[in-house]
Amino acid sequence: MELTLSKMFYNCTHITYTSIGECGDYAIRRICNSLYIYFQGSNGKIDWKNNLDFPAKPYKRMGRVVWLAHRGFLKVWKSMESAVGRYISDTSLEKIYVIGYSHGGALATLCYEYIWYNRIDLRENIFGFGFGAPRVLWGLRLRSITSRWENFLVIRNIDDLVTHVPPFLFGYFHVGKLLKIGKRGKYTSIDAHRDNNLLCELLRYEKGE
């Protein structure tokens, strides 16, 4: 049974996490042949230091098509890649869901691409959700690259400050689809990002309010 957006987000903010590497926090849950990978939101000063870093290459050998990702988020993901990757390599899996909140939403963005790149057999069955996620990619919006996140959804409580950084004018952009929920002006830009307010708006969205 697939989880609703509100249930995935609730799990993401209440699950027990394992800390590893450059302040990376992840949790793994398996339901039948579906794997759920959760990434925790910003948790301390080091996370925010990483949040304000610059672009870098995600792979050493990229061939003719080169794309760049936010270096701070990329550094955290690379420090936990092997630990999370051993679950992703399980050939009995039929679907993988990648879920993250805030800083964790950025890690979910990179993890999703890692699965797309390494599990060709599952490309049609990878689903990603970045709740209150910041922008991760930098540079040109190459269709050959952005199409990798076809089933990735960024959920924005409309005035959420974090989903608007790093600034678009600095060359950063979201990938996948952007789902806007809530009402403009209901919260301050900071309050719109708070987990309890985001959950409230998710429940209202699912009720069609």
Q: Which helix (H) or strand (E) holds 7?
A: helix 5-14
pLDDT at 209 over 90: no
pLDDT at 52 over 50: no
Contact 73, 13 (CB under 8 A): no
User: What's the sign of the alpha-carbon dihedral 138, 143, 149, 150?
Assistant: positive
Tens digit of pLDDT for each residue in 113-139? 999 999 999 999 999 999 999 888 877
Which pLDDT band, with edges at 50, 70 and 90, does 181 fall under? very high
What is the pTM assigned to this prediction? 0.86
Domains of the chain in sequence order: 5-207 (3.40.50.1820)
pLDDT at 50 over 50: no
pLDDT at 138: 73
DSSP H helical ranges for 16-129: 45-51, 71-88, 103-118
Instruction: Please report, for residues 81, 150, 166, 167, 192, the alpha-carbon distance to residue 112 in angstroms, rounded to integers and kept in the order given.
Output: 11, 10, 20, 22, 25
